[in-house]
Structure 1
Amino acid sequence: MTDEAKGVLAMIGACTVWGLSGIYYKLLDHVPPLEILSHRTVWGFVFFLGVLAVQGRLRELPKTLSTRRNILLIVFAALMISLNWFVFISSVQMGYATDASMGYYTFPLTAVLMGAIFFRERLTRAQGVAVALAASAVITLAYGLGAAPWVALTLAFSFSLYGVVKKGLSSGPVVSVTAEVAILTPFALGWLAVVHQGGGGAFGIDALTTAMLIFAGILTAVPLILFSYATRRVSLATIGLVQYLNPTLQFLVATLIFREAFTIWHAIAFAMIWTALAIYTASSLRRGRAARKAAKTAEASGTVI
């Protein structure tokens, strides 16, 4: 199996966990989002350290933070992923899981845009149309609801920027993600200390809640490792393509399980985004076929010579 194929499989695994994770956090809606985020961070850090210890790679962690460039990149990545986590948990608990799914539907197109801006990946005409159509969908929804869809926009752009930063890190996926949560852990512990003063806090109130808060670290760690693994092996455009699985599962969970309201303005905006994704997908498939054909032609020419 090629590295690219392994990266695609890793992305599918990550998106499946992310797509269904809303159900998990809905079961924790009696715990404030920031408290859940803090536990995700702390227990995720414990899990990552365990993985590195088993692999005998703990010494790589200080090396990852040995240069100013890496520190700045990892700090920014940590900020983007923590913002993404917090907004997602909050949206599920407050009844905006549909908007969250819209954000992750928009992510593939913002990923294409980030690729063009930061890595000079050229946009085809079809990709440009798709991005413009997605922007029109956001404007349409903002007009219809009387407010900008901040949940969707925040999730799309924070995750796109996170992918950009991960692309620029030379350290392995487990090490880089461990470094991110290592930076966040002191803040998470500080917040939990404040929450638990005077007997507050959800941790320890019952066995199920405590176990779920601890397991949130694993639920956080595994897909992040898979995502980091994928970003090192496939292009941002391919990541965006496979990413469709995540919002599709989120959308089904929001509408079929959570029974959230789905207005006419949501229907119009989603239709525009799905059309944009169809245009983008068709363009990507055509480019992929053309590239494979060109490679085969070049290989045949080389054989003849």
Structure 2
Amino acid sequence: MEQDVRETGKGITFGLSAYCLWGSFPLYFALFEGIPAFEVLIHRVIWSCVFLVFVISLLRRWPPVKAALVRPKELGYVLACAIFIAINWGVYIYAVETRHVLQASLGYFLTPLVNVAMGLIVLRETITRMQAVAVVIATMAILFQLFLLGFVPWITLVLAFSFGSYGLFRKKVVLDGLSGLFVETLLLLPLGLLALAFLAQSGASHFTDSPGTALLLLSSGAVTAIPLLFFAGATRRLRLATVGLLMYITPSIQFLLALFVFDEPLSPGKLFSFVMIWVALAIYSGSAWFGRERAATT
């Protein structure tokens, strides 16, 4: 029992570390001001792949990677994951650079509910009545921004649906999170190298602007992988329901940073849409949590 409590404590520490780091990403990507989001994305793919080579070697995790690479027919799902995660990364970097952190935050608040909707529509999963209510409320929040505020919150929608689609295809991949991310970035690596060569040849690359800029771009690999390692440590020690509840820390931190660091305006309409999303998340999380508790006691 004491060992279980100790492991649970470690799991919560790992989980908090992962989600707090992800939540602080706006502060990191704001440092890339003046560098196009597309170029930052290229370097993030390349240096994540390089950094993960060292991590996987250190942890001796090559067997699952090799097993995946010798089955090219099964790499289609991994490639789909790679495309959706690249879209998610690119749009998120763009959101921070253009000071749309509130929209990014809303996108990640919305992601769990998008996952529910995708499971219902694509995988034919069943949901409870209260979870269905949560999805309807979240949909109403987006429609409110779309029709009453007079603009399409495309950053929110792209982030939510790209990450939701990533999760959908990730269910088909047998690789663990660390190995899966490495294979995903490995599949994107040739395209990233070609794009980097094009930028360098055309004189548009910022990598050689200064040693500080080069180090900042190089650091994107470690910044991408380290929270994932913490997350892996959390998922091995905690129940899925606990991990799911902890994930709301990330968009909450982003929301606070948008207001108090990036000074983004929060109109009554935006605030109302956020409140609708929070209500939907509370309904969904409560339904999922108590459902698991009832299942555990029967």
Report the TM-score, using the length of structure 2 for normalisation. 0.89
Note the C-alpha offset of 1:162: 1.3
Asked if 2 retains the 8 angstrom alpha-carbon contact of 1:167 and 1:231, the reply is no
What residue in structure 2 maps to residue 257 of structure 1?
Answer: 261
Q: 1:56 to 1:80 in 2, by over 3 A?
A: same
Amino acid aligned to 1:114: M
Residue-by-residue CA offset, 1:152-191 (whole Å, 9 max, x unaligned): 1111111112122223222232221110000111111111
Deviating more after overlay: 278-287 vs 129-138: 278-287
Note the C-alpha offset of 1:227: 4.8
Asked if 2 retains the 8 angstrom alpha-carbon contact of 1:61 and 1:179, the reply is yes
What residue in structure 1 maps to residue 182 of structure 2?
Answer: 178
Residue-by-residue CA offset, 1:175-226 (whole Å, 9 max, x unaligned): 2111000011111111111111254311121122111111111111223445
Within the candidate set 254, 265, 271, 1:267 is matched to 271
Q: How many Å separate the matches in 2 of 1:8 and 1:200?
A: 43
Amino acid aligned to 2:108: Y
Note the C-alpha offset of 1:235: 8.3
Note the C-alpha offset of 1:121: 4.0
Question: 3-state DSSP class of the match of 2:62?
Answer: coil
Q: 1:241 to 1:61 in 2, by over 3 A?
A: same
What residue in structure 2 maps to residue 157 of structure 1?
Answer: 161
Tell me if 1:25 matches 2:29. Answer: yes
Q: How many Å separate the matches in 1 of 2:132 and 2:235?
A: 23
Tell me if 1:200 matches 2:204. Answer: yes
What residue in structure 1 maps to residue 149 of structure 2?
Answer: 145
Report the TM-score, using the length of structure 1 for normalisation. 0.87
Residue-by-residue CA offset, 1:246-290 (whole Å, 9 max, x unaligned): 110110111110001111210111111111111112212321321
Unaligned 5+ residue runs, structure 1?
295-305
Note the C-alpha offset of 1:101: 0.3
Note the C-alpha offset of 1:81: 0.5
Q: How many Å separate the matches in 2 of 1:81 and 1:269?
A: 26
Q: How many Å separate the matches in 1 of 2:254 and 2:86?
A: 19
What residue in structure 2 maps to residue 98 of structure 1?
Answer: 102
- For 1:227-238, what aligned pairs fall within 5 Å after superposition? 227=231
Tell me if 1:115 matches 2:115. Answer: no
Asked if 2 retains the 8 angstrom alpha-carbon contact of 1:133 and 1:272, the reply is yes
Asked if 2 retains the 8 angstrom alpha-carbon contact of 1:78 and 1:180, the reply is yes
Please provide the CA RMSD for this pair.
2.5
Query: What is the total number of aligned residue pairs between the two structures?
Result: 294
Q: 1:132 to 1:240 in 2, by over 3 A?
A: farther
Identity of aligned residues (%): 35
What residue in structure 2 maps to residue 41 of structure 1?
Answer: 45
Deviating more after overlay: 8-17 vs 214-223: 8-17
Asked if 2 retains the 8 angstrom alpha-carbon contact of 1:41 and 1:188, the reply is yes
Tell me if 1:64 matches 2:96. Answer: no
Q: How many Å separate the matches in 2 of 1:117 and 1:13?
A: 33
Q: How many Å separate the matches in 1 of 2:193 and 2:85?
A: 17
- For 1:73-88, what aligned pairs fall within 5 Å after superposition? 73-88=77-92
Note the C-alpha offset of 1:77: 0.4
Q: How many Å separate the matches in 2 of 1:234 and 1:272?
A: 29
Question: 3-state DSSP class of the match of 2:208?
Answer: coil
What residue in structure 2 maps to residue 223 of structure 1?
Answer: 227
Within the candidate set 126, 129, 132, 1:128 is matched to 132
Asked if 1 retains the 8 angstrom alpha-carbon contact of 2:146 and 2:152, the reply is yes
Deviating more after overlay: 85-94 vs 221-230: 221-230
